[in-house]
Amino acid sequence: MKRIGILTSGGDASGMNAAIRSIARSAISAGLEAYGINYGFAGLVAGNIRRLESKDMDGIIDRGGTILYSARFPEFAEEKTQLKGIEQLKKFGIDALVVIGGDGSYHGAERLTQHGFNSIGVPGTIDNDIPGTDFTVGFDTAVNVALDALDRINDTATSHQRTFVVEVMGRGAGDIALWAGIAADADAIVIPEREYDVKKIAEHLKHNYENGKDHGLIVLAEGVMSAADFKAELDQYGDFDSRAITLGHIQRGGRPTAKDRVLASMFGDYAVRLLLEGKGGLAIGIRDNKLVATDIIDTLENHKHITDVSLLDLNDRLRF
């Protein structure tokens, strides 16, 4: 093996650059060449590919976003488009591909593997919703960005004795809501993985106010409903002087935390070491604090990300 390709795809996540740097530098230090593919699978099919030198990796570990850009390219679900991508990889003499992205991007890597092109997935998404790993690159930064916002909201909520409904990202997974919500002392965390009872939440808020608490905070995962809709439901059960906020894309940006930088560095280097051992068709992850590599097809077809809903019970015990 001589050349490794790298691409980032789907929603960007802080720490993707640290993963690119790790893959490129690890490959170069092992005597291989690294190639960056711009704009995800769209750039792959278009042949938007360039050689990456070690010096190109200077000063990127602390930058959010991705220097290789990202793209949504639904056409890559078609076989003929996937085969075009493989043609481009062969044209550039690339022997293996590392895809940094979320669940959808993993399916792209899986399809290339099924066509016989060696591909490895590195989990990069703020949602933490990929099977085969306890944590994804970008999740920790997103949680900390959300937490910073929640701390600020708690300040103003307290000053005016208001209740805020704050919608955080997470279409199918409540991980960001759970982690940021517990850390911000939320009165309720509402996630897609568990039924909620708005009447009970309202009663809990009322009880808190009656017992001297000076504000309310509900952290809501976007996959449940919008903050505005949840506020409307809540308002039917009392006058909480409530406000609805959607944090939105600020959760995607910003300097990656140390945890995301280190995780990305470990994942990227591990992917290269596995390729050097002649392995491939794998999904990289961390489980119980150990690096793991699982078959990418089996991981996607037979496993699901499992949100740790025991965190919801933890929050319920701690809010009284």
Return residues touching ligand ATP (CB under 6 A): 9-11, 40-41, 72-74, 76-77, 101-105, 107-108, 111, 125, 127
CB 193 → ligand ATP: shortest distance, Å? Answer: 16
Based on the residue annotation, tell me whether 214 is a catalytic residue of this protein. Answer: no
Q: Which is nearer to ligand ATP, 11 or 216 (CB)?
A: 11
CB 317 → ligand ATP: shortest distance, Å? Answer: 31
Distance of CA 103 to the CA centre of its chain: 9
CB 35 → ligand ATP: shortest distance, Å? Answer: 18
**Which member of 127, 129, 187, 269 is catalytic?**
127
Q: Which is nearer to ligand ATP, 125 or 163 (CB)?
A: 125
In the complex, residue closest to ligand ATP by CB? 104
Q: Which is nearer to ligand ATP, 103 or 193 (CB)?
A: 103
CB 269 → ligand ATP: shortest distance, Å? Answer: 22
Q: Which is nearer to ligand ATP, 50 or 249 (CB)?
A: 249
Catalytic residues: 127
